[in-house]
Amino acid sequence: MRRATVAIVGRPNVGKSTLFNRIIGGRPAIVHDQPGSTRDRHFGKAEWNGRPFWLVDTGGWSAGTDDPLNRAVRRQIQLAISEADLVLFVVDTQQGVHPADQEVAELLRAHVDKVMLVANKTDDLANDTSHHVFHELGLGDPYPVSAAIGRGTGDLLDRVAERLPEPADPAVDQIQVAVVGRPNVGKSSLMNRLVGEERAVVAPEAGTTRDAIDSPLQYHGVTLNFIDTAGLRKRFRVATDVEFYSTLRTERAIEDADVCVLVVDAKDGVHAQDLKIAESAWEQGTGLIVAVNKWDLIDEKESNTAIQGQKEVTGRAPFLDGVPFAYVSALTGQRSRTILDLIVQVAEARGRRIQTAEVNRVLNDLTGRHQPPQTSGHEVKFFYGSQVGTAPPTFALVSNHPDLVPDSFQRFLLNGFRAAWGFVGVPIRLKLRRKRGRR
């Protein structure tokens, strides 16, 4: 389900970050510190009344100045408006209408249909009428809140949830494919090679692709919808406002995808940032393929070069042991078409359902070959299992002591399930449950 985006804008010290933290509610935020300023920007996942959305915090707008920092903030707000489904414009009831509020309102007035005016620092909601003065901004009725103590924020979020667009599920007859990776590894070139058209701009400069570009392809009767995204950089290297929002688009593309194709550079190898991207996709239950691009530039192609490199990578990130690696060249087309076959294979595996009788046959075989270790003097037994979900495949296993099953044995079961049913490139989830009436 596609997640909407809500942006928070306003001048400094009105409580934007306080409201952001209140809505995020302890969830980890992705922090971006713009070089040359002390004004962090964040984005993270939030949810209210069953409606998930991305929440974005921006820098503070200062009035009466046109220095480089404030020009950058103006770009932030303009990009926030273009990216967001809803904009929360935060003002300060204790200071009233400020000239900077008027300037921000001037920017937002043309987009009043997706602006909510939030009158922060209204501690006495029942008796304080100071928020009424903000009607003069021409952005509708202000919503009084106190982000610091949480007063009124629940009502505000109720209204936010009501105003968000209805979530749109991706087309059920398409495989959504996010092409992701660091800048300048050849993502656009590879996508162009696969799609067969020059749909994405290709240039030697890192970070050429700014927007996510959809490119559908019919392959063996299946529609593959490729999303080429801006290159992900380490957070402190995201130096411009455009790249900050490109990073957000990439995060959203990973979340929306059925399969992620992580493109890495054969010359550079797999970086820590590559592993973070892979881990993000894996944790969200997305299918994953690693495309090692520019393989034509590797001079010494000994028969074990790829195997050795892959073993090194899986040693650093064991979850990649179940992920297919494709050694390709977007420039020459070398083995690039195998990626299409892998996408279809991984997407099929992600939606595969195993019959309960087969689940229990494999479970009994695995526990018969390797008994769960005793913990605290208790013998752990598994009674039965069944698949309870797909995309990703999820299995519920009933045990007498589910809380005593060690992580190592859970990995043994996951590897056994993968070997039995070929869940290539797909994360598998286990839910351990206690049998009712048994201790």
Q: What is the pLDDT of residues 337-380, one digit of tens each?
A: 899 999 999 999 999 999 999 999 999 999 999 988 887 778 99
Res. 8: pLDDT tops 70: yes
State mean pLDDT over 57-83: 75
Name the pTM for this structure.
0.67
CB-CB contact of 11 with 59 (8 Å): no
For residue 307, the model assigns a pLDDT of 74
Domain 174-350 -> CATH class:
alpha beta
Res. 320: pLDDT tops 90: yes
For residue 120, the model assigns a pLDDT of 95
Between CA 435 and CA 297 the distance in angstroms is 56
For residue 201, the model assigns a pLDDT of 40
Burial class (CB in 10 A: 0-12, 13-18, 19+), 115: buried
Superfamily of domain 4-163: P-loop containing nucleotide triphosphate hydrolases (3.40.50.300)
Res. 229: pLDDT tops 80: no
Res. 121: pLDDT tops 90: yes
For residue 377, the model assigns a pLDDT of 77
Res. 68: pLDDT tops 80: no
Between CA 222 and CA 241 the distance in angstroms is 37
Residue bearing tokens 């996010």: 178
Confirm or reject CATH 3.40.630.10 for domain 356-434, answering yes or no: no
Half-sphere exposure for 304 (CA within 13 Å, toward CB): 3
- The candidate with the shortest Cα–Cα distance to 93, out of 36, 147, 170, 29, is 147
Q: What's the one-letter identity of residue 2? A: R
User: Sorting pLDDT into bands at 50, 70 and 90, what band is 432?
Assistant: very high
CB-CB contact of 167 with 54 (8 Å): no
Most trustworthy range by pLDDT among 207-216, 308-317, 411-420: 411-420
Between CA 245 and CA 230 the distance in angstroms is 9
Res. 244: pLDDT tops 70: no
Instruction: Give the residue extent of every domain in the chain.
Output: 4-163, 174-350, 356-434
**Rounded alpha-carbon distances, angstroms, from residue 372 to 11, 363, 400, 414, 435:** 59, 12, 12, 14, 17
Mean pLDDT of the chain: 83
Res. 433: pLDDT tops 50: yes
Res. 29: pLDDT tops 60: no
Between CA 108 and CA 122 the distance in angstroms is 23
Between CA 83 and CA 72 the distance in angstroms is 16
Res. 334: pLDDT tops 80: yes
State mean pLDDT over 46-67: 83
